[in-house]
């Protein structure tokens, strides 16, 4: 067994890449996570979401990632940035974790650890934002934090504004003595703050109601969720913004962006809706986009447009009407349906057609 001093050396390798918290878990089957995933699937709470839900036998077994693995080195990197001023005009909000690519420097830190382990004769494979392993569970087992009622991992004295990654290795690293005790107590602010009631029990999320997933999955956004989307175009921070330890303590770990590109906290709705496919792909960048199909980004933008009425008047009114007219005659019925909803919300009934050959659009037209 390697000693704690060796683990400290590994942790030090990650510091230049912004990692603030590290730990080690045993490379055993993540049984608790596997049972939870299988139960969520059985209860119909996954709503077609893949990621680590696609293959629980793989994502909850570090041995599938690295045969003969003995331990998992876990790292957490903060992603909280200073608030960004809202630009003028019709813009959409982006969840904090997506403002910058925080996984890129995290991966560099993990690779530094992997190279050291390999140089010392061990197998080592880094994972970050990867479906091969449930990173929150190994982080919990490594003693980095506890699971909040919003299912996020909360780090003591720091909150949940962190991205997680790990290195699965054959090295026999000393593991955490025990997990961190629950720090939520009777608090339920995250449950009460969720705009759609997606947190249906402590630590249990109904994916079909979670706006972070609603805005990522393909298809028509359910009518009853569109107003709740508000001005969000990618992700949702509400359950974290309501979390007392996250709000109170998280700013102790604000990321320095003085030498990096400007954070993408807001996105121009009209610019996205007027862009061609290549332009949408460029604006969306590294963010997850189902099937890499720009129609889902445009769909989200149309819902946002319908929700930000006060920002669509004045100097933008003519552009808004022109964009809506274009989408009301779009060849994609999904986009036409959402354009009907947006036009009605904004009071542009004169732009709406009397009927449409597609049943989804026709149903939208017939709604009061």
Give per-residue pLDDT as tens, 336-361. Answer: 999 999 999 999 999 999 999 999 99
Choosing from 129, 293, 332, 360, the catalytic residue is: 129
Structural domain contains residue 293: yes
Q: Between 151 and 177, name the one with better pLDDT.
A: 151
Residue (of 147, 155, 174) closest to 26 by Cα position: 174
162 and 200 housed in the same domain = no
Question: Which residues constitute the domain of residue 344?
Answer: 196-235+265-362
Structural domain contains residue 304: yes
**pLDDT score, position 156:** 96
CATH number at residue 29: 3.40.109
Structural domain contains residue 258: no
Q: Give yes or no for residue 20 having a pLDDT over 70.
A: yes
50 and 147 housed in the same domain = yes
**pLDDT score, position 368:** 85
Provide the token pair at 310.
């006060």
Burial of 248 (0-12, 13-18, 19+ CB in 10 A): exposed
| Residues 220/360, Cβ–Cβ less than 8 Å | yes
211 and 352 housed in the same domain = yes
Residues 310 and 308: their CA atoms lie apart, in Å, by: 6
The two counts, helices (H) then strands (E), for the chain are 17, 11
**pLDDT score, position 324:** 98
75 and 154 housed in the same domain = yes
Structural domain contains residue 317: yes
**pLDDT score, position 247:** 92
Give per-residue pLDDT as tens, 88-136. Answer: 999 999 999 999 999 999 999 999 999 999 999 999 999 999 999 999 9
Structural domain contains residue 57: yes
Q: Give yes or no for residue 260 having a pLDDT over 80.
A: no
Please, which residues bridge with residue 169 across strands?
Answer: 71, 124
Residues 12 and 317: their CA atoms lie apart, in Å, by: 54
117 and 223 housed in the same domain = no
Confidence of residue 259 (pLDDT cuts 50, 70, 90): low
Report CA torsion sign: 264, 78, 149, 191.
negative
143 and 53 housed in the same domain = yes
Confidence of residue 264 (pLDDT cuts 50, 70, 90): very high
In this prediction, residues 301-307 reach a mean pLDDT of 98
Structural domain contains residue 285: yes
Residue (of 190, 208, 71) closest to 142 by Cα position: 71
Q: How far is CA 56 from CA 29, 59, 69, 222, 247, in A?
A: 11, 5, 18, 28, 32
In this prediction, residues 78-88 reach a mean pLDDT of 94
Q: Is 154 helix (H, G, I), strand (E, B) or coil?
A: strand
Please tell me the total count of domains within the chain.
2
Q: Is 129 a catalytic residue?
A: yes
Confidence of residue 310 (pLDDT cuts 50, 70, 90): confident
221 and 124 housed in the same domain = no
| Residues 335/298, Cβ–Cβ less than 8 Å | yes
User: Which of 169, 184, 214 is where one domain is finished?
Assistant: 169
Q: Between 55 and 258, name the one with better pLDDT.
A: 55
* DSSP 8-state secondary structure symbol assigned to residue 7: H
Q: Is 202 helix (H, G, I), strand (E, B) or coil?
A: coil
219 and 159 housed in the same domain = no
105 and 141 housed in the same domain = yes
72 and 122 housed in the same domain = yes
Alpha helices in the chain (DSSP H): 4-14, 31-42, 56-59, 62-65, 103-119, 135-141, 189-193, 211-214, 226-229, 238-241, 244-249, 269-274, 277-284, 294-307, 317-328, 333-346, 359-366
Q: How far is CA 364 from CA 300, 357, 358, in A?
A: 16, 12, 10
Structural domain contains residue 28: yes
Stated as kind and residue range, the H or E segment containing 77 is strand 71-78
154 and 272 housed in the same domain = no
Structural domain contains residue 246: no
Give the other-Cβ count within 10 Å of 187's Cβ.
15
In this prediction, residues 208-223 reach a mean pLDDT of 98
Phi, psi at 346, each rounded to 5°: -90, 0
| Residues 144/116, Cβ–Cβ less than 8 Å | no
Give the other-Cβ count within 10 Å of 65's Cβ.
19
Please, which residues bridge with residue 92 across strands?
Answer: 267
Give per-residue pLDDT as tens, 164-194. Answer: 999 999 999 999 988 999 999 999 999 999 9
Give the other-Cβ count within 10 Å of 218's Cβ.
13
Confidence of residue 314 (pLDDT cuts 50, 70, 90): confident
In this prediction, residues 248-255 reach a mean pLDDT of 86
163 and 15 housed in the same domain = yes
């Amino acid at each position: 067994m390697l000693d704690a001093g060796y683990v400290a050396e590994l942790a030090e390798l990650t510091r230049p890449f912004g990692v603030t918290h590290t730990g080690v878990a045993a490379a055993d089957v993540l049984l608790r996570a596997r049972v939870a995933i299988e139960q969520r699937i059985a209860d119909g709470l996954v709503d077609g979401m893949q990621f680590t839900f696609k293959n629980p036998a793989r994502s909850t077994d570090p041995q599938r990632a690295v045969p003969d693995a003995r331990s998992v080195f876990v790292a957490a990197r903060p992603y909280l940035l200073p608030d960004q001023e809202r630009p003028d005009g019709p813009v959409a909000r982006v969840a904090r974790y997506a403002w910058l690519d925080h996984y890129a420097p995290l991966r560099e830190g993990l690779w530094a650890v992997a190279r050291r382990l390999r140089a010392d004769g061990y197998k080592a494979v880094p994972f970050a934002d990867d479906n091969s392993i449930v990173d929150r569970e190994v982080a919990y087992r490594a003693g980095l934090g506890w699971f909040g009622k919003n299912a996020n991992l909360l780090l003591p004295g720091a909150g949940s504004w962190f991205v997680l990654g790990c290195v699965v290795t054959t090295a026999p690293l000393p593991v955490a003595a025990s997990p961190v005790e629950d720090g939520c107590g009777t608090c339920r602010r995250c449950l009460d703050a969720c705009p759609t009631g997606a947190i249906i029990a402590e630590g249990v999320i109904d994916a079909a109601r979670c706006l972070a997933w609603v805005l990522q999955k393909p298809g028509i956004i359910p009518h009853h969720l569109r107003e709740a989307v508000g001005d969000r175009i990618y992700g949702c921070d509400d359950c974290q913004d309501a979390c007392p330890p996250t709000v109170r303590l998280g700013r102790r770990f604000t990321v320095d962006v003085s030498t990096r590109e400007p954070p993408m906290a807001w996105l121009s709705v009209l610019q996205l809706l007027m862009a061609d496919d290549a332009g949408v792909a460029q604006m969306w960048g590294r963010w997850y986009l189902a099937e890499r199909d720009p129609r889902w980004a445009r769909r989200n933008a149309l819902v946002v447009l319908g929700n930000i009425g006060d920002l669509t008047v004045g100097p933008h009114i003519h552009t808004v009407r022109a964009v809506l007219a274009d989408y009301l005659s779009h060849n994609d019925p999904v986009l036409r349906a959402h354009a009907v909803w947006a036009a009605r919300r904004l009071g542009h009934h004169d732009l709406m057609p009397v009927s449409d050959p597609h049943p989804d659009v026709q149903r939208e037209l017939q709604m009061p």
